[in-house]
Structures are given as C-alpha cells and as structure tokens.
Amino acid sequence: MSFAQGIEKASVDLLSLYKEEGFEVTHLPITDFSVPSKDALTDTVSKVIEHTQRGDNIVIHCSAVVGRTGLFAACLARRVLGLSGE
C-alpha cells in the first residue's frame, strides 16, 4: 500500500486501516489538549514495553501532533530510562 492510499483510507477509519494491514493496535484515546487516566496510561506503557521486549517495532502517533504523542513518548522514556518528570 502506498502512503497516499493509506491517507485516503485513513480519513475513513485509521484504526480499521491498521488492523486490515496486519498491525497489532494498542489504542489509548486521549481527548485533544487533555491527558489520559493514570491507569490507562500505565497499562498502555506496559503493553508497549512488552512489545519492545519481544523485539517488535512500535509506532506512536496522534492525529494532530499537538502533544499527545510527546506525552506518551515522555512517559515511556521515563519508565524505560528512569528519567524524572523534570
């Protein structure tokens, strides 16, 4: 599938597109300019860590790229690398 084909299909239902293409999806819905619950975030970070420990590649993204991807990546880095929240 080309990138352009993916974008065209994505406007319909991105999660379904990923699943059709054989991706295993771990979805953490976060409302724009908001944060997820601590439990949901902790569970999702744990799932992603499990995937990386199995040698799986991961992709982290949101639709608007205004903070949710960075929030999740920072929480993942904090847990994996032991970084502080500062």
CA angle 52–30–80, rounded 5-degree value = 30
Tell me the C-alpha distance between 76 and 86, whole Å: 14
Nearest to 74 by CA among 64, 62, 86, 65: 86
Residue 26 included in any domain = yes
Count of structural domains, the chain: 1
Domain that residue 39 falls in: 3-81
Verdict on whether the full-model pTM lies above 0.85: no
**Could you tell me if 41 and 77 are in contact, meaning their C-beta atoms sit under 8 angstroms apart?**
no
Query: Could you tell me if residue 61 is inside a domain?
Result: yes
Contact 25, 19 (CB under 8 A): yes
Q: What is the pLDDT of residues 6-60, one digit of tens each?
A: 445 445 577 888 888 888 888 888 887 888 899 999 999 999 999 999 998 888 8
72 domain-assigned: yes
Q: What is the pLDDT of residue 5?
A: 47
**Run of H or E residues at 54:** none
Residue 50 is predicted with a pLDDT of 92
User: For residue 2, what pLDDT band results from cuts at 50, 70 and 90?
Assistant: very low
With respect to residue 76, please indicate whether it lies within any of the assigned structural domains. yes
